Structure 1
Amino acid sequence: MSDEDARQRINAEDARAALISDLATADATTFGGSWYDGATGTQHLQATTAEAADRYAGLAADKGIKTKVHQVEFTQRDLTADMNRLLAGTHPVLGNAARGHAGIDVQANRVVVQPTDADLAGLQGRRASIPDSIAVQPREKDLDVVADACPSRAHCDRPLRSGLEQWKGEQDNRTCSLGFTARDTVNPGRKYVITAGHCGGIGDTFGHYTHEFGKVEEHQNSGDVDALAIRISNPYWLNASFGWIYRPNGDGEPPFAVNARIDSESAMQAGQTVCLTARNSSAGNRCGVLDAVNSSHRGMARVSGLDACRGDSGGGWYRKSDDRRTAYGIHSDSSDGCHTADGVSYFSTLPAVRDALGKEVEIRIS
């Protein structure tokens, strides 16, 4: 796909996005998901009843959208609920077997789970009890990641990585840090950069090194949310993968993967060690101790033992366990100074950001 073709496709999304958003909200009891075929310019919609399928086709025709509607068994809402239980390890049949390894195959209208070989063998006696909405598959082999040049946080080729330095408006106006890459919760094909809300406003253009991302589409800086969402419209970044964290002193090495994200603040608790990847983490991604999930500072999460610096706003907070990294939040502010003793930092949790902006952080399923 050429850059111009990609830009035209992005610009033509608005009508389709509005239709899908309406269906997902107003017709949640019959809407089975959607996907777009760029080769034919066709918007595919799925409905669980014939009546709904006819209605969807009529709504699309009224908007001048080329559409094909398919009748399926399961709603997107029900599949999403199944996926969340599987990811959390709380599914009544599969339990922990698919924890962290589940996703929705929209066209197949199923939740796909990929247990380890050992867990897969253990499921043999429970196969008959697995709901039809869930498809169990062997886990895919990890693909080798070949990193482009990334000698510093101010100079990285694609893919985008949490903790990079950003610019606003012009390349020499360096401001704030990249939090995480994300997708729209209604239209997953739309990709975003999430950073701190106080770093810019609606319509501002952001970028990194010599390539812009796009413009700010969503913004909030009130209550426990200090975040904004920059729509990625530049094919340079779109034609790459998402869900990465900058690897300090790792030029030539692949970036760290974002293996998971918290979808509820109940997954957080005081005493956990969390780390910040941001502009001033030159010595490595510094870590502190989460001592309040909902602190008195705007209801944000509070971290003791780490005083972030000017320019770190918008950076990504994550928890490292073994060799896995779970995204927790977007950095807002900290004690006066930089890396001072007994300093504290504050961040907006990802569940709060998702609810405010309608964006969820991209993760790498591995």
Structure 2
Amino acid sequence: MGILQKLLSFLFSQLILVLMVSNHNNAMGLKLGYYHKTCPNAESIISKTTYRFISRAPTLAAPLLRMHFHDCFVRGCDGSVLLNSTKTSISEKDAIPNQSLRGYHVIDAVKSAVEEACSGVVSCADILALVARDSVSMIHGPYWKVPLGRRDGRVSILNEVFAELPAPFANITQLKQMFAAKGLNTKDLAVLSGGHTIGTSHCLGFTNRLYNFTGKGDTDPSMDPNYIVKLKQKCKPRDTTALVEMDPGSFKTFDEAYYTLVAKRRGLFQSDSALLDDPETKAYVILQASTHGSTFAKDFSESMVKMGQVGVLTGNQGEIRKHCALVN
């Protein structure tokens, strides 16, 4: 390794250290039962309102979980993904990776219900963290305790999404670096990828693997060829509208089946297949696939709590938005 590479590697490690310390210090401002005195029924109201939607449309759980993930990876868990674009700034919401997000109406309904009970107290960032947890729990996934006290950010910038959010085309090196930059380790990467056990994807997210992987009209050799045949039946070249289940057969249920698929080289995205390219992530995939997800629920809960503390604003930072799509 040359001197320049060593220097860059050192600087990157120092940056991660600074970010982790900053994240940790702010996360100390979060606590369980944060609204116990200021809005005692907040968590109950959020849960009941969320249930109204998930009971009628369980497929909303996946985009709501994804929305929380997309929020936390850009500027931290500050509700910035919820902000609308303005005349002077295009927001995260309008970035291509976020254009397929849905469920904003659930967040708005929850916010309205909470505002009715106690105006100007509960942040949109906290609401998003709780709605994501409750949605997963309501489709037979794990339940975790969410420390609260996040404040809402006032800034949302489209271009930051491409720099911060892991792409479906990312390789294992890129994924590990992007998670490390948020204070999340390699195990968290393997665990949180398991969120792909629910939901669907547009063909656009993976058709390069089916038709033109290296620019020569070829397929991705890391994907099961029999699975490629099935996917080609659903996704024609340049198809931008068709939807494919990420976990065929149980895409509405939060379970460990995702890892069985990845182990069989049937992960939908390159970022899924990439888990087999690292000894630690591969070992985790094999463990969950071979033991019916023996530790997945517990691990997912722990990693979600960690992710929910990334880059949070607390204390006097940020604000409590009156409307989640608009700064005050």
Q: What's the TM-score, normalizing by structure 2?
A: 0.30
**Structure with the greater alpha carbon radius of gyration:** 1
Question: Comparing both chains, which one has the higher relative contact order based on Cα–Cα distances under 8 Å and sequence gaps of 6 or more?
Answer: 2
Name the TM-score, length of structure 1 as normaliser. Answer: 0.28
Q: Which has the higher strand share?
A: 1
